[in-house]
Structure 1
Amino acid sequence: MMIMKSLRSRRFLALAAALTVASAGLTGCGGSDSDNSGASGTGPIRALLAAQPATLDPIVGARSAQIVWATMLEPLINTGSDLAPTDTGLVTSWTRTDATTWTFKVRPDISFSNGEKADAAAVANTIMLTRDSAASQLKSYFGNVTAIEAPDATTVVVKTKTPQYDIPDLLTTVYLVPPKYYQEKGSEGFAAAPVGTGPYVWSGANAGRDISVKRNPDYWGTKATNEGVTFTWANEAAQRLALIQSKSVDVSFDLPPAQASAAKAAGVEVVSTETAMKIIAFLDSTKAPFDDPKLREAAALAIDRDAIVKGIFDGQAVADAGLLNVKPGQQPTQSVTADAAKAKELLGGATPTVQITYPAAQYTNIEEVSQAVGGSLEKAGFKVSYVPLDYGTLVKRIVGRQVPGLSIFAGVPNVAVPDYFVSGFMKTKSITGNCPDPQIDTLAQQALEQNDAQQAAPLYEQLNTIGVVQKHCYVPLYRQVFNYATGPGVSGVVFGPLNTVDFTKTTR
Structure 2
Amino acid sequence: NKPVGGIFRAAKAMIIAGTLAVSLVSGAAFAGQDGRTNLRVAMPTTWASHGPVVNSNFAARVTYSIYDTLVWRNYLSKPDGSGYELVPGLATSWKQVSPTEWDFTIRQGVKFHDGTTMTTKDVAFSINNTYGDGLEPFPASGTIASVVALDDKIVRITTKNPDPALLARMATVMGQVYPQAYYEKVGKDGFGRAPIGTGPYKWAGRVTGESVKLVAFDDYWGDKPPLASITFLEVPETSARIAGLLTGEYDIVTSLPPNQTRPIDNDANTEIRAVAVENVQMITFRQYKQDRPQADARIRKAMALSLDRALLADKLWAGLTKAGTYDFPGYGDYSMPDRGPLPFDPEEAKRLLAEAGYNGEEIVIRIVGGYYTNMTRAIEAGMEMWKKVGLNVKLDIIENWGQMGQEGDAYAASDNMWMTDPAGGMWFSWGRKGGHRLKDWGGTPPAKFAALGTAIEQGSDFKIRMQAYMDLLDLWDQLVPAILLYRPVEAYGVRKDLEWTPYTFFYMDFRADNVKDNS
Evaluate the alpha carbon distance shift between residue 96 and residue 428 of structure 1 in structure 2; reply closer, same or farther with a 3 A threshold. Answer: closer
Aligned-pair CA distance for 1:326 = 4.8
Distance 1:142 1:94 in 2: 18
Asked whether 1:431 is paired with 2:439, we answer no
Question: Which residue of structure 1 aligns with residue 486 of structure 2?
Answer: 478
Question: Which residue of structure 2 aligns with residue 4 of structure 1?
Answer: none
The amino acid across from 2:108 in the alignment is P
Distance 2:463 2:263 in 1: 43
Distance 2:510 2:340 in 1: 39
Question: Which residue of structure 2 aligns with residue 283 of structure 1?
Answer: 285
TM-score, normalised with respect to structure 2? 0.84
* Larger helix fraction of residues: 1
Deviations 1:443-497 (A, max 9, x none): 1111222226665222111101101x111113222122322122253x1323211
Unaligned runs of 5+ in 2: 1-9, 78-82
Evaluate the alpha carbon distance shift between residue 167 and residue 371 of structure 1 in structure 2; reply closer, same or farther with a 3 A threshold. Answer: same
Distance 2:50 2:152 in 1: 27
Distance 1:39 1:105 in 2: 37
Aligned-pair CA distance for 1:143 = 1.8
Aligned-pair CA distance for 1:135 = 7.8
Asked whether 1:17 is paired with 2:10, we answer no
* SS of structure 1 residue aligned to 2:59: helix
Tell me if the contact between 2:282 and 2:482 (Cα under 8 Å) persists in the aligned partners.
Answer: yes
Evaluate the alpha carbon distance shift between residue 503 and residue 362 of structure 1 in structure 2; reply closer, same or farther with a 3 A threshold. Answer: farther
Alignment of 1:481-500 (within 5 A): 481-487=489-495, 489=497, 491-500=498-507
* SS of structure 2 residue aligned to 1:419: coil
Tell me if the contact between 2:41 and 2:231 (Cα under 8 Å) persists in the aligned partners.
Answer: yes
Asked whether 1:354 is paired with 2:363, we answer yes
* SS of structure 2 residue aligned to 1:492: strand
Question: Which residue of structure 2 aligns with residue 84 of structure 1?
Answer: 85
Which residue among 452, 456, 463 is the counterpart of 2:465? 456
CA RMSD of aligned residues (A): 3.0
Question: Which residue of structure 1 aligns with residue 393 of structure 2?
Answer: 383
The amino acid across from 1:224 in the alignment is P
Aligned-pair CA distance for 1:286 = 1.9
Distance 1:19 1:123 in 2: 54
The amino acid across from 2:203 in the alignment is W
Question: Which residue of structure 2 aligns with residue 66 of structure 1?
Answer: 60
Aligned-pair CA distance for 1:199 = 0.6
Question: Which residue of structure 2 aligns with residue 252 of structure 1?
Answer: 253
Tell me if the contact between 1:443 and 1:459 (Cα under 8 Å) persists in the aligned partners.
Answer: yes
Distance 1:132 1:358 in 2: 32
Evaluate the alpha carbon distance shift between residue 333 and residue 126 of structure 1 in structure 2; reply closer, same or farther with a 3 A threshold. Answer: same
Structure 1 stretch 161-170 or stretch 56-65: which is displaced more? 56-65
Tell me if the contact between 1:414 and 1:498 (Cα under 8 Å) persists in the aligned partners.
Answer: no
The amino acid across from 1:381 in the alignment is L
Evaluate the alpha carbon distance shift between residue 197 and residue 101 of structure 1 in structure 2; reply closer, same or farther with a 3 A threshold. Answer: same
* SS of structure 1 residue aligned to 2:486: strand
* SS of structure 2 residue aligned to 1:383: strand
Unaligned runs of 5+ in 1: 1-8, 25-31
Question: Which residue of structure 2 aligns with residue 466 of structure 1?
Answer: 475
* SS of structure 2 residue aligned to 1:314: coil
Question: Which residue of structure 2 aligns with residue 414 of structure 1?
Answer: 418
* SS of structure 1 residue aligned to 2:488: strand
Tell me if the contact between 1:20 and 1:246 (Cα under 8 Å) persists in the aligned partners.
Answer: no
Deviations 1:305-330 (A, max 9, x none): 1121233223232223x213353985
Question: Which residue of structure 2 aligns with residue 324 of structure 1?
Answer: 327
* SS of structure 1 residue aligned to 2:385: helix
Evaluate the alpha carbon distance shift between residue 121 and residue 266 of structure 1 in structure 2; reply closer, same or farther with a 3 A threshold. Answer: same
The amino acid across from 1:327 in the alignment is G
The amino acid across from 2:124 in the alignment is A
* Aligned-residue identity in percent: 22
Evaluate the alpha carbon distance shift between residue 445 and residue 214 of structure 1 in structure 2; reply closer, same or farther with a 3 A threshold. Answer: same
Aligned-pair CA distance for 1:393 = 7.2
Tell me if the contact between 2:31 and 2:228 (Cα under 8 Å) persists in the aligned partners.
Answer: no
Structure 1 stretch 268-277 or stretch 299-308: which is displaced more? 268-277
Aligned-pair CA distance for 1:375 = 4.1
Aligned-pair CA distance for 1:386 = 1.7
Aligned-pair CA distance for 1:373 = 3.6
Question: Which residue of structure 2 aligns with residue 226 of structure 1?
Answer: 227
Distance 2:485 2:122 in 1: 40
Deviations 1:409-462 (A, max 9, x none): 232223121111133222163211134111111111112222266652221111
Which residue among 30, 34, 37 is the counterpart of 2:30? 37
Question: Which residue of structure 2 aligns with residue 502 of structure 1?
Answer: 509
Deviations 1:68-100 (A, max 9, x none): 01111112211122313211x101222221111
Tell me if the contact between 1:60 and 1:135 (Cα under 8 Å) persists in the aligned partners.
Answer: no
Distance 1:176 1:485 in 2: 32
Number of equivalent positions:
479
Evaluate the alpha carbon distance shift between residue 42 and residue 108 of structure 1 in structure 2; reply closer, same or farther with a 3 A threshold. Answer: closer
Distance 1:406 1:307 in 2: 22
Evaluate the alpha carbon distance shift between residue 23 and residue 415 of structure 1 in structure 2; reply closer, same or farther with a 3 A threshold. Answer: farther
The amino acid across from 1:372 in the alignment is A
Asked whether 1:335 is paired with 2:341, we answer yes
Tell me if the contact between 1:53 and 1:65 (Cα under 8 Å) persists in the aligned partners.
Answer: yes
Evaluate the alpha carbon distance shift between residue 361 and residue 123 of structure 1 in structure 2; reply closer, same or farther with a 3 A threshold. Answer: farther
Alignment of 1:48-447 (within 5 A): 48-53=42-47, 55-80=49-74, 81=77, 82-87=83-88, 89-132=89-132, 136=136, 139-174=138-173, 175-267=176-268, 268-287=270-289, 288-320=292-324, 322-327=325-330, 330-331=336-337, 333=339, 335-348=341-354, 350-379=359-388, 380-390=390-400, 402=406, 405-427=409-431, 429=433, 430-433=435-438, 434-435=440-441, 436-447=445-456
